[in-house]
């Protein structure tokens, strides 16, 4: 795994650094940078940081103001309060949507991780007829546009009376979560040395025993990352949730649209809700992101 874990060991090579000057100038070490290069570097990064952070900062800023702050942002500074937050938490369905989203996202994650862990392991360690086809299926389902399955699933769920039902939405999300989790976990299992399995087998464990007692404990960080990521994906899904759920079962992504309507959006509530939704998601994300990218790209490069 080439993961981004070794920050400190990163070589300091600078593309902006001029080629070694041959003559009289003070010789500069490879690791150093001139003042101009330094300014350019930090200047660019500060600009990029501003662009990256501004929309989030702006919606936070507006959320602190009165109702019409989005029309007159200046007002926020005069009338600065958490009023929108207390308001939206006590006078809207936001707490209910929150609960709905936690149930659906949690269910999806549990289903995805438990079902996919063994499959990821089997594909990672054993050569068996069908393993290539299975990996191929995992890959292709990642490619499915949501529209391919949404219509048939919608009609099927309506036949089974699973529309407007937690289980129905969880099953719909499982169509992407299960292959995704299997794909990610195969990547993580690939990083655990095979010798560990062999040692376990020599000591008389069955393949399943090896998996359960040796590999799962070692792969816990990978399992956690996969779980968090599929949680976050379900947390932010829009298309299925919009069609499948009625107002009592709205998830956050659908519910927030009842504030941010096309006509006459209520930006005070929308912005406060946005921040409330973002904080837990962003915290979880920041915890897992380092291992996430290596998992996503490793699966792709190795297969």
Partner 1 sequence: MTTAASPGQTDKTARGEKSPRPARVSALRRSWEKHWYAWAMVTPVAVVIAVLVLYPLGYGIYQSLTDANESNVASTIGAFHRPATYRFVGLDNYWHVLSGADSDFYPRLVWTILWTVSCVALQVGLGMGLAVLLNREMRLRGFYRAMLILPWAVPSFIGVFAWRLMLNSQYGVFNEIITAFGLPEQNWLGTPMAQKIAVIMVNVWIGIPFNMVAVLGGLQSIPKELYEAAEMDGASPWQRFVNVTLPGLRPVTNTVILLGCIWTFNMFNVIYLLLGNNTTGDTDILVTFAFRKAFTGISDYAGAATYGIIILALLMAFSTFYRRSTLKSEQA
Q: State the nearest-atom distance from the C-beta of 70 to partner 1, in Å.
A: 6
Q: Using the minimum distance from each CB to partner 1, give the nearer residue, 90 or 301.
A: 301
DSSP-assigned letters across all residues of the chain: ---TT-STT-----TTSPPPP-SSSPPPPTT---HHHHHHHHHHHHHHHHHHHHHHHHHHHHHTS-TTTTT-TTHHHHS--SHHHHHHHHHSSHHHHHHHHHHHHHHHHHHHHHHHHHHHHHHHH---TTHHHHHHHHHHHHH--HHHHHHHHHHHHHHTT-TTSHHHHHHHHHHHHHHHHHHHHHHHHHTS-HHHHHHHHHTT--HHHIIIIIIHHHTHHHHHHHHHHHHHHHHT--HHHHHH--GGG--HHHHHHHHS-SSS--HHHHHHHHHHHHHHHHHHHHHHHHHHHHHHHHHHHH-
What's the min distance (Å) between Cβ of 11 and partner 1? 4
Nearer to partner 1, 182 or 223 (CB): 182
- How many other CB atoms sit within 10 Å of the CB of residue 141? 17
Judged on CB neighbours under 10 Å (0-12, 13-18, 19+), 50 is exposed
**Least distance from partner 1 to the Cβ atom of residue 46, Å:** 8
Q: Which CB atom, from 14 or from 165, has the smaller least distance to partner 1?
A: 14
Nearest distance in Å: CB 27, partner 1? 14
CB of 23 to partner 1, least distance (A): 15
Q: 271: which residues sit within 8 A by CB, 6+ positions away?
A: 59, 60, 62, 63, 70, 84
The full length of the chain comes to: 303
Nearer to partner 1, 154 or 166 (CB): 154
Minimum CB separation of residue 146 from partner 1 in Å reads: 6
State the minimum distance, in angstroms, from the CB of residue 192 to partner 1. 12
Closest CB 220 distance from partner 1, rounded Å: 18
User: Looking at beta carbons only, is 10 or 24 nearer to partner 1?
Assistant: 10
Nearer to partner 1, 59 or 94 (CB): 59
């Amino acid at each position: 795994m080439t993961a981004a874990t070794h920050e400190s060991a990163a070589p300091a090579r600078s593309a902006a650094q001029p080629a070694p000057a041959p003559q009289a100038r003070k010789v500069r070490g490879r690791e150093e940078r001139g003042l101009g290069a330094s300014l350019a570097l930090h200047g660019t990064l500060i600009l990029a940081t501003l662009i990256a952070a501004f929309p989030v900062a702006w919606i936070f800023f507006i959320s602190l103001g009165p109702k019409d702050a989005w029309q007159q942002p200046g007002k926020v500074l005069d009338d600065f309060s958490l009023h929108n937050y207390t308001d939206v938490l006590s006078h809207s369905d936001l707490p209910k949507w929150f609960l709905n989203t936690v149930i659906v996202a949690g269910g999806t994650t549990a289903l995805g991780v438990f079902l996919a862990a063994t499959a990821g392991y089997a594909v990672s360690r054993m050569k068996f007829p069908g393993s290539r086809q299975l990996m191929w299926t995992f890959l292709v389902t990642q490619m499915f546009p949501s529209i391919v399955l949404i219509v048939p699933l919608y009609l099927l769920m309506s036949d089974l009376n699973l529309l407007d039902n937690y289980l129905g939405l969880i099953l719909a999300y499982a169509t992407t979560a299960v292959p995704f989790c299997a794909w990610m976990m195969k990547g993580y299992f690939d990083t655990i040395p095979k010798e560990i399995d062999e040692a376990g087998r020599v000591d008389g464990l069955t393949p399943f025993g090896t998996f359960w007692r040796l590999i799962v404990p070692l792969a816990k960080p990978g399992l956690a990352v996969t779980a968090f990521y599929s949680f976050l994906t379900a947390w932010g899904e829009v298309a299925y949730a919009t069609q499948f759920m009625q107002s009592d079962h709205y998830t956050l992504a659908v519910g927030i649209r009842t504030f941010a309507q096309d006509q006459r959006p209520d930006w005070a509530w929308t912005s406060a809700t946005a921040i409330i939704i973002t904080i837990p998601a962003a915290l979880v994300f920041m915890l897992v992101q380092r291992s996430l990218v290596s998992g996503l790209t490793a699966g792709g490069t190795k297969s």
